Amino acid sequence: MRKATLGSRTFDAINILIMLFIMVVVLYPILNIIATSFSSSRFVSMGSVTLWPQGFNLRAYEGIFKDHFIYTGYLNSILYALASTFIMLLFTSLFAYPLTVAGFAGKKFLTIFLMITMFFSGGMIPTYLLIRNLHMLDTLWVMIIPGAVGAYNVFLFRTFFMNIPSELKDAAHIDGANEVGVLFRIILPLSKPLLATFALFGIVGSWNSWFEALIYLQSQDKYPLQMILRNYLFTLDTNAIQGRVGAGNVAVNAPGTTLDPKSVRMAVIVITMFPIMIIYPFFQKYFTQGMFVGSIKG
């Protein structure tokens, strides 16, 4: 085994120090948010909370969980994330696979069409008018359908599909499978790393999305969790509040219970990011593969 040189050890040490510094920079605000959410309003208002709760209590969480919009926001976000991701994977696969078939006559036209959409966009107002004309305003579908197919994703899926050995497809055709059968029985089962990577990206993107809800939704019972979080962040009073806190509306006194607006904000942030923090470790192994999807020319 080759002995490490002084230069390589120095390089490794510098890399470790840089990674430790980045880890501290990333973890500090997260730990501070969690500590603030569990701290007493007196210590929060004094600004003495850093990485550990001061005057530990659960009052911020008790006040938040009295708001039923937190529960509807959770359910809506889960529905939007799962449904939009499933539809994105399905329709992107259906769009990308024909572009890998040698005899497909419309391949060149569809490729050019997709490339045009990567350089030109209709803009916010035409998109809003289209959504309105389709009668999708203030419906669940407006949070699911618009992101079903993206040109960038289609090209990455096509490149990945093209790197699957053609002999497998030929064998399936010999056994009598049509193109739909080849896609669902051969291509997609062999594309699990690709699908898992984009499923994670899709779920995280949908979970963190709030702007579409702000533009297209009017009913608060259809708001995703991020929209509820936005209401808390932007409409909580700057003074200490008491009692139950509504989604974007500060309620009135509850004897003996004092909540600090900052504690409430931090508690809502913790509740919002908790599911994604649980999901990430299980899918982290797909991140490296996802970074290299499409890097090999087909």
- Percentage of the chain exceeding pLDDT 90: 28
Residue 239 has pLDDT above 50, yes or no: no
DSSP SS3 for 255: coil
> What is the residue range of 296's domain?
61-298
Within a domain: residue 8? no
Residue that is written with structure tokens 């550990």 in the block:
52
Distance of CA 196 to the CA centre of its chain: 13
Share the mean pLDDT of the chain: 82
Asked whether residue 33 is domain-assigned, the answer is no
Per this entry, what is the length of the chain?
298
Q: Evaluate if residue 268 carries a pLDDT over 60.
A: yes
Kindly report, residue by residue over 4-57, the tens digit of the pLDDT. Answer: 677 788 888 999 999 999 999 989 998 999 999 898 888 888 888 888 888 888
Q: How many domains does the chain have?
A: 1
pLDDT at 291: 56
Say how far apart CA 80 and CA 145 lie, in whole Å.
Answer: 10
Quick one: how far is CA 223 from the chain centroid? 16
Within-domain flag for 66 = yes
Q: Token pair for residue 270?
A: 């913790």
Asked if residue 249 is part of any domain, the answer here is yes
Could you tell me where the DSSP H helices lie in the chain? 6-37, 41-46, 59-64, 68-96, 107-119, 124-133, 151-162, 166-174, 179-182, 192-207, 211-216, 225-235, 261-283, 285-292
Tokens matching residue 214: 């702000």
Higher pLDDT, 275 or 132: 132
Rg of the chain over all Cα atoms, to the nearest angstrom: 25
For 201, residues 6+ apart whose C-beta sits below 8 A from its C-beta are: 290
Q: How confident is the model at residue 293 (pLDDT cuts 50, 70, 90)?
A: low
* pTM confidence score: 0.80
35 occurs within a structural domain: no
Confirm whether 16 is domain-assigned: no
CATH number of the domain that residue 175 is part of: 1.10.3720.10
Tell me if residue 245 falls in helix, strand or coil: strand
Segment among 25-39, 153-167, 249-263, 271-285 with least mean pLDDT: 249-263
Is 127 a domain residue?
A: yes
- Residue 199 falls within a domain, yes or no? yes
Model pLDDT, residue 286: 65
b/e for 31-68, b at 16 or more Cβ within 10 A? eebbbbbbbbbebbbeeebeeebbeebebbbebbeebe
Split at pLDDT 50, 70, 90, the class of 87 is very high
pLDDT digits (tens, 9 = 90+) for 180-234: 899 999 999 988 888 988 988 898 889 988 899 999 999 989 999 999 888 877 7
The upper half-sphere exposure of residue 151, i.e. CA atoms within 13 Å in the direction of its Cβ, equals 12
